Amino acid sequence: MKFIRNTIALMLVLFSFLSIRAQQNLVFQPEQPKPGETIRFKFNTSATTMFGVDKFDAYAYLLTNRQSPVIQELKLDRDGSTYSGEIKTTDSTHAVFVRFVNPGNPDDNQGEFYYTLMYDTDGKPTPGAILAAGNAYANNGFT
């Protein structure tokens, strides 16, 4: 039991570190979204593979209890090199990954991915959030 608790604590620390590192170009609001909330985001392309690209697509992958993620095509509003949009989550969303795609040149944040976990009212990841994000990493994200 102690081993499992320590493993979960280590995974939480690891994902928190990776989440902070992965979010330098993409900012989510609120910072700790709850399932069912709409997440607003801003994507600054200046330090990404999308810099200077006039047209690209954006997709949100909502990870739930289902095997496959729920995929949303995102509408982007542009202001210079910054793009913004919204992601509508469901009550069963555990984590959200975002991917920007220009044919032949997807931006996966250099393998770190862009994502956020979902949080409960106490500010802790919801049950299943860390597992959902871990599964996405184990499967190399989404292609």
C-alpha dihedral over 28, 42, 98, 24, to 10 degrees? -70
Q: Write the single-letter amino acid at 142.
A: F
pTM: 0.80
Mean of all residue pLDDT scores within the chain: 84
Mean pLDDT of 4-17: 54
pLDDT tens, position by position, 68-115: 899 999 999 999 889 999 999 999 999 999 999 987 788 888 878 899
Q: End-to-end CA distance of the chain: give it in Å, rounded.
A: 36
Mean pLDDT of 113-141: 89
